Structure 1
Amino acid sequence: MTRRRASGTSIRRLLTAAAVLLAICASTTACFRFPAPESPPPVAFGVNPTPPGAESQVAREPVPNSQNCDATVSLRPGPLPPPNRMPRGSTMAEIQERGRLIVGLDIGSNLFSFRDPISGDIQGFDVDIARAVARGIFGNPATIEFRVLSSADRTQALVDGSVDIVVKTMSITCDRLQEVSFSTPYYVAYQRILSTRNSGVNGPAGLANKRVCAARGTTSIGRLQAIAPRVRMVTTTTWADCLVLMQQGQADAVSTDDAILAGLAEQDPWVQLVGPSLGAEFYGVGIPRGRDDMVRFVNGVLDRLRLTGEWQQMYNRWLSILGPGTGPPQPVYRD
């Protein structure tokens, strides 16, 4: 096959046509033009779609009370029975007969309980605690059913018996002990502040008139309102929703426990932990009130995790971003 070269006449015609087109473009608006990109307008709360359930009008809440009742003191465990041989008539025997342990948690607390985007499995430090309890009853950590709860729903789920236990970064407080029981603490966190790098928030003194997000039903709200009375609280259903609000410019900061905030910071390089600790939070396994045998059993499981070094392995796997840590909290028993 032969190729035909363009003749000199054809090239001259093309050049002439191009010159005419340029002349028309210079004198009219006949040519297509791409508009210059516009700068985004300032974002106010409610302009961008907000996560379902987000609220910007938040009433003042009481400061969490964990000191007037020795909240972290719990029941002494007895010897752990062998798996699948729970004492007759016990809460654990009822769970064994059902064939699964029902655990309340959430899937929006990175590092503690979240859904792995690749495998789809629910994972995290709290999940490993829950699986240890299931292993103690059945000998199999997978004999478990997870029920997703918001922070505000944790106590009610225990009161109405829709879950056997709650393992969801649930702080032990005197107020909550009026309605539910707790294990000994399995983790100690410290409330801090997570802010965007351009927010100007470097600690609690910078929170006046700033929008700070927290999940409803948490002790973080009342404590922060007491420390920074002029803060403008924004509440959501989950901590993941708080991160979304920060990314959309609808919140200037988030305040809760440092371990939860570290999980949010892992997902976005433009946020950072700032300021000192605002107070300690002792996480316990929530258990329905009156189920003292279950409290003792769970405390036995937690004791075993401490003594065997499994607790430290779990910490290294999920929470090493917080540093080497100081080891598991030591239990205090009242009997």
Structure 2
Amino acid sequence: MTRPRFHLSGPARSRRPLVVAVLLLVALVATGCVRFPAPDAPPPTATAGPLVLPGVQTDVPVEPPPSSEACNATLTLRPPAQMPAPGRMPPNSTMAGIFERGRLIVGLDIGSNLFSFRDPISGDIEGFDVDIAREIAGAIFGDPNRVEFQVLSSAQRIDALRDKTVDVVIKTMSITCDRLRDISFSAPYYVASQRILSFRNSNIVGPSQLADKRVCAARGTTSIGRMQSIQPRVRIVSTTTWADCLVLMQQGQVDAVTSDDAILAGLAAQDPWVRVVGPSLGEEFYGVGIPKGEDDMVRFVNGVLERARATGRWQQIRDRWLTILDSGFGAPQPYYRD
């Protein structure tokens, strides 16, 4: 398990995400960590050579596709009729325990550009998911910066919630019926569409061109099973982070990446030779992961999200980080089961 990393930062910078991505790109190129092909050169060809990144698994066995939503996975608990004031959490509640500790522990990663990444200039962890975490911290403490970020891989998210080493996971985590057996979720805070990232001058424009091609996805995500069900001849390569997928693509070790459009947009912002292509392969509803049995925390987080929608704060967060996407679903509407 990755050791917790404590991070308290000052007010969020106003710089545009694209500037951050460009600065990061320049730094990487200067150190020789990333190499781009010439604009007119053909895309790298995937090879069977050794993969130098740690944690890479080639030819991932077939995984089941995401379960149908017969369980109405996005149905959630209604928020309190009146939210408690910051610093005045209900006695003996999950939120009171977090307040007494003095910080909210949030599981995320730093390899999902635009959603959660480390600013190369300030060193701060920033992004859409980070701002959602700060909204929750602000509602508990009255201070959005009282957050400790614990860096997790996609495969570690559920275990971290079951072990209660984190209070919540906010890491582009899709709400699914399978995951609801082990953890709880808030109402959706973002809706994404799974798509494909390919080189601009390749002929890959959809899943039909991925037969016998190597396609990268982060381990422990729903993207793998869905792609295998749509294109049975795909050869999945899994990595620990989405940033690793981009590196493998740049090295010519894989032909494409598949994930949610928001994640792929973050990768595309770092490399001018790649693009997001193809139709939607399925919608994903991101939710805040919460330990099973902490229904008071589910209701509280839902109240935070409800207020963010009503006040326009959600739209402000989206406008700050996701303007690179040419379309969007807007703030998802919650559906309560009680």
Tell me which interval the TM-score lies in, with the shorter structure as reference length: 0.7 to 0.9
Task: Give the distance between the partners of 2:190 and 2:48, measured in 1 at CA.
Answer: 35
Task: Give the distance between the partners of 1:153 and 1:120, measured in 2 at CA.
Answer: 23
Task: Give the distance between the partners of 1:66 and 1:145, measured in 2 at CA.
Answer: 34
Question: Residue 227 of structure 2 aligns to a residue in which SS?
Answer: helix
Task: Give the distance between the partners of 1:291 and 1:104, measured in 2 at CA.
Answer: 16
Residue identity opposite 1:176 in structure 2: R
Match of 1:279 in 2: 282
Task: Give the distance between the partners of 2:319 and 2:290, measured in 1 at CA.
Answer: 26
Q: TM-score, normalization: structure 2?
A: 0.85
Match of 2:92 in 1: 89
Q: Does 101-110 or 314-323 show the bigger shift? A: 314-323
> C-alpha root-mean-square deviation of aligned residues, in Å?
1.2
Structure 1 position 199, deviation (Å): 3.4
Structure 1 position 216, deviation (Å): 0.1
Task: Give the distance between the partners of 1:230 and 1:276, measured in 2 at CA.
Answer: 19
Match of 1:333 in 2: 336
The answer as to whether partners of 2:155 and 2:219 remain within 8 angstroms in 1 is: yes
Task: Give the distance between the partners of 1:119 and 1:278, measured in 2 at CA.
Answer: 36
Structure scoring higher RCO (CA < 8 A, sep ≥ 6) equals 2
Structure 1 position 42, deviation (Å): 6.9
Q: Does 190-199 or 171-180 show the bigger shift? A: 190-199
Residue identity opposite 1:156 in structure 2: D
Structure 1 position 128, deviation (Å): 0.3
Asked if residue 67 in structure 1 is aligned to residue 50 in structure 2, the reply is no
Structure 2 unaligned runs (5+)?
A: 1-43
Which ranges of 4 or more aligned residues in structure 1 deviate by more than 3 Å?
Answer: none
The answer as to whether partners of 1:65 and 1:175 remain within 8 angstroms in 2 is: yes
**Aligned CA distance change for structure 1 residues 93 and 242 (closer, same or farther; 3 Å):** same
The answer as to whether partners of 2:65 and 2:225 remain within 8 angstroms in 1 is: yes
Task: Give the distance between the partners of 2:211 and 2:69, measured in 1 at CA.
Answer: 28
The answer as to whether partners of 1:107 and 1:148 remain within 8 angstroms in 2 is: yes
**Aligned CA distance change for structure 1 residues 247 and 72 (closer, same or farther; 3 Å):** same
The answer as to whether partners of 1:204 and 1:275 remain within 8 angstroms in 2 is: yes
Q: Spell out the pairing of 1:163-242 with structure 2 (5 A cutoff).
A: 163-242=166-245
Question: Residue 60 of structure 1 aligns to a residue in which SS?
Answer: coil
Match of 1:5 in 2: none
Task: Give the distance between the partners of 2:304 and 2:159, measured in 1 at CA.
Answer: 24
The answer as to whether partners of 2:75 and 2:336 remain within 8 angstroms in 1 is: yes
Task: Give the distance between the partners of 1:242 and 1:109, measured in 2 at CA.
Answer: 11
Structure 1 unaligned runs (5+)?
A: 1-40
**Aligned CA distance change for structure 1 residues 42 and 202 (closer, same or farther; 3 Å):** closer
Task: Give the distance between the partners of 2:232 and 2:262, measured in 1 at CA.
Answer: 24
Asked if residue 264 in structure 1 is aligned to residue 263 in structure 2, the reply is no
Match of 2:121 in 1: 118
The answer as to whether partners of 1:66 and 1:172 remain within 8 angstroms in 2 is: no
Match of 1:131 in 2: 134
Task: Give the distance between the partners of 1:54 and 1:312, measured in 2 at CA.
Answer: 36
Question: Residue 182 of structure 1 aligns to a residue in which SS?
Answer: strand
Report the structure number with the largest CA radius of gyration. Answer: 1
Residue identity opposite 2:94 in structure 1: T
Task: Give the distance between the partners of 1:97 and 1:45, measured in 2 at CA.
Answer: 53
The answer as to whether partners of 2:76 and 2:185 remain within 8 angstroms in 1 is: yes
Match of 2:59 in 1: 57
Task: Give the distance between the partners of 1:159 and 1:42, measured in 2 at CA.
Answer: 41
Q: Which of 138, 150, 154 is equivalent to 2:153? A: 150
Structure 1 position 328, deviation (Å): 0.2
Residue identity opposite 1:300 in structure 2: G
Q: How many pairs are equivalent?
A: 294
**Aligned CA distance change for structure 1 residues 153 and 81 (closer, same or farther; 3 Å):** same
Match of 1:107 in 2: 110
Question: Residue 284 of structure 1 aligns to a residue in which SS?
Answer: strand
Match of 1:248 in 2: 251
Task: Give the distance between the partners of 1:66 and 1:167, measured in 2 at CA.
Answer: 23
What do residues 269-289 of structure 1 show as CA deviations (whole Å, max 9, x unaligned)? 111111100000000000000
Match of 2:78 in 1: 76
**Aligned CA distance change for structure 1 residues 279 and 326 (closer, same or farther; 3 Å):** closer
Structure 1 position 57, deviation (Å): 2.7
